[in-house]
Amino acid sequence: MPAPRRNNRANALVQQAAPPPWGPAEIRALQAVVNGDPGERPRAAGDEAPDTPSWDLIVVGAGITGAGVARDAAMRGLKVLVVDARDLAFGTSSRSSRLIHGGVRYLEQGEIGLVYEALRERRLLYKIAGHLVQPVQFLFPAYRGDRLPLWKLRLGLTLYDALSLYRSNRHRTLSPAAACQREPLLAEAGLRGAVTYEDAVTDDARLTLTTLQDARRHGAEVLTYAPVAALRRSGPHHLVELADGSQILGRAVVVAAGPWTSERLLGVAGHDLLTLSRGIHIVLRSADLPIRQPVVVQAAREKRILFVVPWGARTYLGTTDSVYEGDPGNSSVTMADADELFALIGRVLPSQHLRADRIVSAWSGVRPLVRAASAGRGRSTVELSRSHRILTTESGVLAIVGGKLTTYRAMAEDAVDKVVAAIGHRGPRCSTHRHPLVPGEPINQLELRHPHLAALAPRHGPFARELAARIARDPELGRQLVPDLPYLWVEVDHAIACEGCVHLEDLLRRRLPLALTEAELGVQVARQVAERLVDAWGGTSRDVDLELERYRDVMRQETGRILAPC
Ligand SMILES: Cc1cc2nc3c(=O)[nH]c(=O)nc-3n(C[C@H](O)[C@H](O)[C@H](O)COP(=O)(O)OP(=O)(O)OC[C@H]3O[C@@H](n4cnc5c(N)ncnc54)[C@H](O)[C@@H]3O)c2cc1C
């Protein structure tokens, strides 16, 4: 075993307030380092692999799980490289229901430990990512004949309060009249009452980005559009081979490839490891479904609940839960999915606008659920556990699968404990629960009166002050990208220079959720945004057209809708 090394570099970097820039120059420089050739020449076949590892830890996958692992490891002083086949959060981590929650429905499945852990993590995320994880009161109505009658909801939420150690707003029971007063859109017929309880909403892709940015602040590097083709052993080290032939040597490897975690990456250990389950969400204008708070809807037959969530000028609804067997990158929303959601939700929130022609955007994601030993192929994915699993392959690669967005920090702690034990690293213990993802004083109520800070703070936290200062220097940057949505041009420039954007879809789909809030509005500004991005990369007008084509293809694939040309 190699002698344990101390890495004080990360401790020095922790002092940095902002993550280092992450634009075209930095991306190219890292590509060159990874290719092992300052001239950016791909390594020729047969070249000897270097025998001194450049990295303590290579993380495969820049979803929320990989981001959490990278941050934790970098904070413990490891030199970390994250590689992703596509953009960060390209997979499930930008396609969730965007909730940080204990998971009320898991109580029904007896998963008390999972709910306890998730509620603890929710509490920690309020502390370390307060601008991104916002508590909201959910309304859960019960109707005559529902699988979960009101008394069961009250019992379950009494337990939920206890599992949260009574540190959040306790649940309340409402009469049918009080429930309708609180949410006038609720169907009145058969309503037996409702409960309100606290959970939280987030922006999943930005939580992933912000976690990675904090990892970068602690010295980690992140390379996107670098698919891993093979993992091999090279003496005492691990050799990660990228699809372009580059070889990277690390002392440890963690695979966090979400639904892509398979035999191809892990060998026999990956065989039949996961069951994939597809879930879709649909976005409407809030005027078409003007709910006042998130509403929970029971599915009639399965042990499943759905969420209807207000999202600024939009409302989104989801999700479905069905076995999926295709490429996780190609999951798509179909009209049958939309009809299913409209039928289930229309029972509780009847609206003439629950119609296909009112959909303004949609997304589709694939859950990587750990396959239960008892799970036959026919078993409903709704009943599969959302807990995580860490396994070690024969060659010593660690893989982390399953889990939830909510529990990513705890999952990462678990994985990095195993990494440091495996490589004999002596450094500080996990401290990810103590330090905010974005350093600095939270934006206060007085500052929120400033229109730019009010728009920027929910996505950027204390860093919003820096962006507002740029707007003060150049007021053009304070313009909204599109009317009625709070995204500003300063965020476009910042994303290009500092948030690792390679393609237009990275920016419009994951740095800013414009494509999700309204696909057609994304199209309206796509050309202008593409021009800025391509200009920064030193491309030509042909590259702008290619980016626009790519963006339309990706959005058409995911939303199942034909977008106007941009
Ligand atoms: C519909 C739906 C709703 C959900 N709602 C919630 C919710 O509200 N709250 C909650 O807590 N959880 C929710 N979840 C679960 C949560 O979203 C996932 O558990 C989590 O996002 C998984 O993250 P991940 O990083 O493991 O996987 P991913 O986000 O999929 O990341 C895996 C990454 O690995 C990369 N990759 C794959 N193959 C390779 C390769 N060969 N080389 C390099 N990189 C590779 C991919 O490009 C991808 O970026 C939901 C999931 C779904 C599908």
Tell me: the pLDDT tens digits for 370-427? 886 544 444 556 656 668 899 999 999 999 999 999 999 999 999 999 999 999 999 9
Task: Tell me the C-alpha distance between 484 and 205, whole Å.
Answer: 21
> Is there a single domain that holds both residue 179 and residue 294?
yes
Residues present in the chain in total? 566
> Is there a single domain that holds both residue 169 and residue 74?
no
User: Measured from the CA of 226, which atom of ligand 1 is nearest?
Assistant: 43
Q: Which of 350, 381, 412 lies at the terminal end of a domain, its last residue?
A: 381
What pLDDT does residue 491 have?
98
Give yes or no for residue 12 having a pLDDT over 70. no
What pLDDT does residue 562 have?
66
Distance 11 CA to ligand 1 centre (A): 29
Q: Is 258 in the pocket of ligand 1 (CB under 6 A)?
A: yes
> Is there a single domain that holds both residue 294 and residue 172?
yes
What pLDDT does residue 383 have?
56
> Is there a single domain that holds both residue 457 and residue 544?
yes
Q: CA neighbours within 13 Å on the CB side: how many for 33?
A: 15
Q: Supply the pTM of this predicted model.
A: 0.94
> Is there a single domain that holds both residue 394 and residue 530?
no
Give yes or no for residue 5 having a pLDDT over 70. no
Q: Could you tell me if residue 18 is inside a domain?
A: no
> Is there a single domain that holds both residue 234 and residue 86?
yes
Q: 522 or 38: which carries more pLDDT confidence?
A: 522
Mutation test residue for ligand 1: of 96, 305, 319, 516, the one with most atoms within 8 Å of CB: 96
Q: How far apart are the first and last CA of the chain?
A: 56
Q: Total structural domains in the chain?
A: 3
Task: Tell me the C-alpha distance between 451 and 60, whole Å.
Answer: 40
Q: Domain of residue 528: give its range.
A: 447-559
> Is there a single domain that holds both residue 218 and residue 299?
no
> At 330, which amino acid appears?
N
- Contact (CB, 8 A) for 192 and 150: yes
User: Measured from the CA of 386, which atom of ligand 1 is nearest?
Assistant: 19
From 79, 7, 12, 14, select the one nearest 435 (Cα to Cα): 14
> Is there a single domain that holds both residue 524 and residue 467?
yes
CATH of the domain at 92: 3.50.50.60
* pLDDT tens-place string over residues 43-67: 444 555 556 888 999 999 999 999 9
Q: Indicate the average pLDDT of the chain.
A: 91
Q: Could you tell me if residue 160 is inside a domain?
A: yes
* pLDDT tens-place string over residues 233-289: 999 999 999 999 999 999 999 999 999 999 989 988 888 899 999 999 999 999 999
C-alpha to C-alpha distances, 224 to 60, 202, 221, nearest whole angstrom: 10, 23, 10
> Is there a single domain that holds both residue 299 and residue 373?
yes
Q: Could you tell me if residue 404 is inside a domain?
A: yes
In this prediction, residues 216-227 reach a mean pLDDT of 98
Task: Tell me the C-alpha distance between 221 and 82, whole Å.
Answer: 6
Task: Tell me the C-alpha distance between 364 and 210, whole Å.
Answer: 22
Q: Could you tell me if residue 41 is inside a domain?
A: no
